[in-house]
Chain A
Amino acid sequence: MEVPLPLIWLVKIVVIFGGLVSTAALMSLAERKVSAWMQYRIGPNRVGPFGLLQPLADGVKFIFKEELIPAGANKFMFRLAPALSAAPAMLTMAVIPIGGTVVLGEYSIPLSIADVDIGVLFLLAFSGLSIYGVILGGWASNSKYSLLGGLRASAQMISYELTLILTILAVVALEGTLNLRTISENQQHVGEWNIWTQPLAFVLFTITMFAETNRHPFDFAECEPELVGGFHTEYSAMRFALYFLGEYCAMTVLSCLNATLFLGGPSVPFWPEAPWFVGIAAFCLKAGFFLFLFLWVRWSLPRMRFDQLMRLGWKVFLPLALANLLITGGFIAFGAH
């Protein structure tokens, strides 16, 4: 039985949130580096070795830039919206188990900030909230492009949240728990990874991830050729940066969730007794793969059309996810379990 020392809690919070935010910062660099490498370019390489300090330079630039609030904008909502977009994305990281349990002396420390029984629900509830930042930001800007971006984002996220929840539900039904730690601990061996029992859910979840975070090829909320910058057209300086931070945090959290639900979280293939730091490394690798996938897809595929997106969501993904859930339920009820 561990003692919840305030110090341990504090260290965990600082390390995990610091990791999340620095991952988000590094993602903004990785985005440009990956796009450069795919186009025979080098990418940012001026600030620090290999351009590694570029996010820092960007941050300084964002802080010193002038903040513009358009005339006719709802000032209160305009200021609040970016925070509404970033905060839920960061909050959700709290329930993700990034590793097993560390035993230090007499303390055993589970490697997640909050080990709640309704982890999956908590995560879904709060990741669903980040859409408010997008909608309200688009609405409060008093600009037609922003409004259209916000509208598109809301329609898109409502549509795809259903698929997201249904695919997660299939895994939850299989595992019989909403606790993310238990789910990841149940997949200690490679053979137990949920990707083998739920391949369809894995594919659907991975694709829905892109739609939920408004990333390519589903980034209709910002869609440059049509909407200038979409919901953040009117934003500048640090508030604009906050939207980006929120987007990258949401990507990171969903990548971690994908790794936890389908790839066994911190489990190392063929080495179930791996020490905890190897587990964390494995977890980071798995989540990192999905993060790379985000960038990889963004710089490879063209944007879809909005009606195609809606058709895909409602007519293809939703029935598939429902059927998957039905079959999973059937197996659980009448199968060999």
Chain B
Amino acid sequence: MSELLFYAMAVIALLGGLGVIFSKSPMGSVLSLLGSFFALAVIYLLAGFHFMAAVQILVYAGAIMVLFLFVIMLLNLGGMGTRFELSAAPLTRARSQIAAAVAAGVGLAGLIAVQRASLPRIAQGGAPERIDDINQIAIALFGRYSLPFQAVSVLLLTTMVAVLVLAKRRTRESGQ
């Protein structure tokens, strides 16, 4: 039963992911992503990570995707009539090809790492003991892993600054 549910959810998550890439309208992408998140949350639940599942829905589905929707609606990209012109032009440039290759390589490395690491898997009979205890999570997050935690925050901050810089330069160019 739970195995069946897992595969169903996995298929939905993957389909949602594909929908994000291939949907012609931004609204469709956002909704596909939403479906994908829900499927992921169910998978977390199946694995016994109740806390993760709730946070997944609370943070990603409940807050971040709402912001996405908000921005799309505010920028008036939302109409299903709006279509992005997909063109292969960027992929012909050498620089872009290198970037794509690097991204693909990192992804592949990640996959191999996950495959080889001894992470708890659903097939091996449920989650380890006490993984769901919030106290344990908090202690781990702010104790043993506080440095990586802070590093992730810094990474996010960097991303934010980078996005600001990129967006700003673009407006100046288009303004001239």
Contact = CB atoms under 8 A, between A and B. Distances in A.
Given A118-B50, A121-B58, A128-B63, A139 B132 contact: no
A158 B58 contact: no
Say whether chain A's binding surface is mostly helix, strand, loop, or mixed. Answer: helix
Nearest to A147: B73
A217 interface: no
Among B54, B67, B78, chain A packs the most CB atoms within 10 A around the CB of: B54
Interface of A: 74, 77, 116-118, 121-122, 124-126, 128-129, 131-132, 135-136, 139, 142, 147, 150-151, 154-155, 157-158, 161, 178
A269 B80 CA distance: 56
A271 B36 CA distance: 49
Given A135-B69, A139-B27, A139-B78, A129 B61 contact: yes
A155 B70 CA distance: 7
Among B27, B62, B73, B78, chain A packs the most CB atoms within 10 A around the CB of: B62
Contacts of A157: 66
A135 B73 contact: yes
B4 interface: no
B127 interface: no
B55 interface: yes
Contact of A74 (B58, B67, B70, B80): B80
Contacts, number: 68
Interface of B: 27, 31, 34, 50-51, 54-55, 57-58, 61-63, 66-67, 69-70, 73-74, 78-80, 132, 134
Contacts of A126: 57
Contacts of B80: 74
Contacts of A128: 57-58, 61-63, 66
B57 A125 contact: yes
A139 B62 CA distance: 17
Contacts of A150: 73
Nearest to B41: A125
Given A139-B27, A139-B78, A121 B70 contact: no
Given A77-B31, A128-B58, A158-B63, 16 more contacts: A118-B54, A118-B134, A121-B51, A121-B58, A124-B54, A125-B55, A125-B57, A135-B66, A142-B79, A147-B78, A151-B70, A151-B74, A154-B66, A154-B73, A161-B63, A178-B134
